[in-house]
Structure formats: structure tokens, C-alpha cells
Structure 1
Amino acid sequence: MAAMPNGFAGTGSCDQIKINGSNVWFPISIRHKDAEDLSGVFPDLAQEIFQSMKVDVAFGAKVPWKRVFVQLESGEIDMVAGAYHTKDRARNYVLSSPVIKEPVAIFVRADMSDRPGSLEDLIGLQGLAPFGATFGEEFDDFANKHLTISRQSFDDFSTNMELLVDGKADYLVIARQAGEMMLKDLGVEGEVEALPWPALENSLHYMFSKKSPCLKHINAFQNELEKRVEAGEAANMMKAFNASASGQE
């Protein structure tokens, strides 16, 4: 269990924990059109845990992904519901134990003749990735040194997929399941596909602000989270969201 660090006891009142997350990261954290609250594996699981602890939950307003971490840094929100592990995040925030691991994929047009077989094969190609997204040190370091990846601050991450479809780039880096859902939503499943090899696989965590008074609850949250993860609850929720998206019962 990841224990609360010394010096961050979370003083003050915590009558309600404020949570925010991605608006479009299926099935990790999503916000349906015109919906105020988040849904997805991480928001739903967090809400269940805090309800069992008798702590009220409030979800933050829809803001860009990078802004979510500005909110966390300032203490405007208490928790981010789902984000990849990085060394910087481990230093700047209080991370939960790992909840799941998720593969990140490289999406290309289906008519691409010379398919990349590794990260090295992406060198010299034009790539896209969501603005503000980080995929972990190993990939980010390689990308910064060797790859050309545009990260524009579109209101909707699916704009990146549309640019790929239109031939404005050679590939898109994004979480596999989120990318596959974008293909379905845009109706371009036959035009773009994920390469069979994963760009990387990284662990996803809840992240608490070090300025949050709700840190006083973190050990109890961690204990309950680990029990539920070990019992397969997070994995079952992933399967349920995927089955629902596929139209299965």
C-alpha cells in the first residue's frame, strides 16, 4: 500500500472531495455530452469507495486535460481520477497504488503500405498526440529525442483522429481503447486501425493534491482500493464498459 507521505497530513475540513479527470478517455474517465459529472472506471470506482467511507464526492467542471493538473497543483481539486505514472507526477502529487495497466497504441491509416514495426520505425514520420498527454518517461524521452509529434490544443481529442484520416499525419499515439472508441464514434473503423504491437504499457493511478485537506482519508481510500482491485472489481468494470460500448449485454 502506498502510504501518505510525512508532512502532508491534510489539515482542515474535508466535507466533500472534489474530483476531475479526462473528458474523453474511454473507458477510464469520460464525460457524456452535456453531462456535468464524470463517468468511467476511475470516477465510478472512486465514488463507490468514498460513499462506503461516508465522504461526499463532487466532480469538477469540464476543462482541458492540462488544466486538470493545474487544478490539482493549486488544490482547486483534490483528486484526478486516472492518469499515467511518471516520476514528475510521483514527486508533485500523492499517487495511489496502481489500479490497472493500459496499452498505448499507434494508429495509422489502413491503406498505409509500409507499416511501422517498432518505435524506431516512426522516426522521420509525422505524428500526432493529445495536447497535455504524457505516456511515461520511456516513451516521452524517446519521442523528445527522435520523433516529430504535434500536440495541438484542440477542444476535442478526436480532432487528432480526423487529421489522421485526412492524411495530415502518418500516425496517432493514444490509449488503445480510447482510440478504438474514437474510430467508432467517427464512423471510420475501416479507414484507421491500431498497429498490433503496443507503444508501451503504463500503470494508471489516482492522484491526490498535496494541498488537499482530504489527504487525511488517503490511507482508508488506499486500503479499500487495494481490496477492490485485488477482488477484480476494476477489471470487471473495464469489461462492462467495453461490453456496453460494443452493444453486448
Structure 2
Amino acid sequence: MSVRRSVRSLAAAWSAGIAIVLLGSAACPRLSSQAHAQMPAVQSAPAQASPMPAAAAVAGCTQLIASGNPQYPPYLWRNPDDEQRLVGANAELMQWLAKEIGIPIDTRYVGPWGRVQEEMRAGRIDLIAGAFFTLPRTDYMDYFHPAFRETRSVVWTREDSALLYKRWGDLTGRQGVTVINNSFGIEFDDFARKSLKVTQVASIEQAIQMLQRGRADYMIYEDAPAEAYAARIGAPSIKALTPPVAHEGLYLTLSHRSRCNSPELRGRLARAVYKLSQDKVMNRFVDQGLLLWRRQSAP
């Protein structure tokens, strides 16, 4: 009896040992794999892991559509070879941004500046490649800080004008002109709405022509774009007065109704815009935009 009892005990112990090993393999796979790696075995080498993409796709977002003010050289204007496309410094910025976030960006013409903002509000475009900050615009789009470019908005008048301008109040009683839905900072916009007479027209060319023909005493617009268009139009010259009406930043914005608007995408955009400000690559894009505009404007 003692011999049989000993044999049964030994068998039970052996079974329990096997169970513990199996249980240990399930509960601690890392230990099990290490032990397995130490055992000699004839097997093929493990497959190499495929390299990770620079940025994984955002669910449901395979492409972003960007637009902006199409009369805004050297930042944005319509490509004369394909007028459904926008070119310029901000278009180059969108291509740089696409590589940073891992999502293609199509920078296209969707209409004049007022129409661009309507399309943004409706979510039919995803990004605006350059917008000033105003409180009403935060109702329909997110801003990414910091601004990627600082601009100056100035008062323009005819070369032979006797207009004396040193402060905003000097414009009171005069006829002004600018482009529809343009903003020149919260403070000046509020002052202009209450105290100035400013006609809004559809294009910068129309505004310059009104100024040149004496139908307006002054024009308000950013310095570089107005100078670029004035040089192309020719005819009577115009001049910028000092001091500037406002210094404003150009921001990247994302529509609230964009199908791609998600915490993940907003995080990618925020990181990319911060990197842009640190690397100062926008200066190079602006220089390229100026060269392209001059080349296309040459007779």
C-alpha cells in the first residue's frame, strides 16, 4: 500500500508541475517567450517589422481642402495657368504643413474672400491659409497659435493727395474703400464701423481703381498685397501713409464643421504651427512668392 500511495503522490506532483508551467506561460507571456528563446529550435527568422509612417492617418480624413484670400500676393493668388488653384507663399506653407501632419492638402480657389469665409462657415472647406483674428470668426473656426506671419494694414491715397493722416480720427469725414469682409483688427474694425464711411467692393483691383479715379479719398489694405496689385495695374500711382492702421497676425484656421476636425488633427496642426514659428521657414516662402508674382506680372 505504501508503494502504491507513493506512486500516486509522485504522479499528482508531476501533473501539478505541468499545470503550474502552463499557467505561468499564460499569466506571464514575457517570461515564457524569454524561456522559449533560450531553447534551441529549428525555425525561420522572425519577420522584420515594417517601418512606421511619419504620421498615421486620421480616421475619416484622407484629404484637407484649404483656401484663402485669392487677391493677396505674395501670400495667395490664382494660378494663371490653372485658375482653380492658388499659388504663393501660403500655398507653399500648405504643402509644408501637409508633410508635417501626414495628410494631403488641396489648396484651391473657391471664390473671392467673402465667399471663402462662407465656405468655411459651412464646412465645405477645412482650412483657411491665412486669416486675421476676430471674435465673430471664432464662432465657426479654430485658430492655431502663434500667427505664422505678421502684416501691416495701411492707409493708401493718391500720390498727389493732400490728405493728412497721423491718427484714425483724421479719416473722419473722408470717403474710404476696402474689400468686402476684410478685417483690420478688432479695435480698428469697431472704430471704422462707428466713425468712418468706408465702401466695400469685391476686389482689390476695383478698390485701387476707385482711389485712382477720385471716387475714394483713401483705401485701407495690407501693404504688400496692395503694392503688388498697384504695380500690375499701373496708371496713377498711390502711396502708403504712416503710421499703419494696425499690425495683425495671419493665422491658420480650421472649420468647426470640417469632417476632419478632431482632437488628434488639432494636436497635429498645433505642433506643426509651433514648429513653423521656431524654424522660421515662412520667410523663405514669402521670398519665393514675391519672385513668382513678379515673374508672372512681367510683360
Output the TM-score relative to the length of structure 1: 0.87
1:200 aligned residue (242, 246, 252): 246
Residues 32 and 69 of structure 1, relative CA distance in 2, 3 Å threshold: same
1:180 aligned residue (210, 227, 234): 227
RMSD of aligned alpha carbons: 1.9
For the pair 1:83 / 2:131, whether they are aligned, the reply is: yes
- Residue 212 of structure 1 corresponds to 258
Cα separation, 1, equivalents of 2:100 and 2:135: 31
2:270 maps to amino acid: Q
1:63 maps to amino acid: G
* Aligned partner of residue 179 in structure 1, secondary structure: helix
Number of corresponding residues: 234
Matched-pair contact (CA < 8 Å) for 1:29–1:82: no
Cα separation, 2, equivalents of 1:135 and 1:228: 24
User: Which structure has the greater CA radius of gyration?
Assistant: 2
Residues 21-40 of structure 1 aligned to structure 2 (within 5 Å): 21-33=68-80, 34-40=82-88
For the pair 1:242 / 2:290, whether they are aligned, the reply is: yes
- Residue 16 of structure 1 corresponds to 63
- Residue 3 of structure 1 corresponds to none
Cα separation, 2, equivalents of 1:40 and 1:127: 28
After TM superposition, give the deviation of residue 245 of structure 1 in Å. 4.5
Cα separation, 2, equivalents of 1:236 and 1:115: 36
- Residue 116 of structure 1 corresponds to 165
Structure 1: which 5+ residue stretches go unaligned? 1-10
Percentage of pairs with the same residue:
23
Deviations 1:130-152 (A, max 9, x none): 01212221011010111100013
1:37 maps to amino acid: R
Output the TM-score relative to the length of structure 2: 0.73
* Aligned partner of residue 199 in structure 1, secondary structure: strand
**Higher helix proportion (structure 1 or 2):** 2
Residues 12 and 240 of structure 1, relative CA distance in 2, 3 Å threshold: closer
Cα separation, 1, equivalents of 2:110 and 2:161: 36
Give the number of the structure with larger relative contact order, counting CA–CA contacts within 8 Å between residues 6 or more apart.
1
Structure 2: which 5+ residue stretches go unaligned? 1-57
